[in-house]
Amino acid sequence: MPEHRHLRRLDSVWIEPAIYFLTLCARDRRPILANPETVAILRDEFTGAPGRHGWRVGRYVVMPDHLHFFCASDETPGAASLSRFVGAFKEWSAKRMVTLGARPPIWQKQFFDHILRSGESYLGKWFYVRENPVRAGLVAKAEDWPHAGEIETLER
């Protein structure tokens, strides 16, 4: 399958503080993510993101073959760009997942990002995303999916 070209990311964003909605996919869409051990690694990486990368992580949903989460730069000097943050997140989480027996490569090279624009509701987007396990037939109710949560509250 040919690789799609992606648009260049913006150098500057004028929505402050910007909240991003991200989707990262497992390489070849392998169902390797939605298990307690991997989710613990992802949560640990999310929790450490402010200190390591200058990014805060809000709500997230881990699906078998992809991951959705919301994040915002903490705007401190030295905070990584979005691309550097995601690259480092993928690198460190992959190293840890390989120690559990996951076969590399873990992540697809690209990722999807969407900045929540003024008038767009973080909560509204969250309500849609948290229903993914229901739409996929994994659970009857979103609150029954064990691989979703919130690291910290993100506010605009």
Q: Which of 3-7, 13-17, 56-60, 124-128 has the highest mean pLDDT?
A: 56-60
SS3 22: strand
Distance CA 149, CA 76 (A): 25
Distance CA 100, CA 103 (A): 9
Q: Which amino acid is at 86?
A: V
Domain residue limits, the chain: 20-150
Distance CA 35, CA 24 (A): 16
Q: Is the pLDDT of residue 37 over 90?
A: yes
β-bridge partners, 22:
69, 113
Architecture of domain 20-150: 2-Layer Sandwich (3.30)
Nearest to 68 by CA among 118, 34, 103, 30: 34
Enter the pTM of the model.
0.87
Q: Is the pLDDT of residue 12 over 70?
A: no
Q: Which residue has the higher pLDDT, 77 or 50?
A: 50
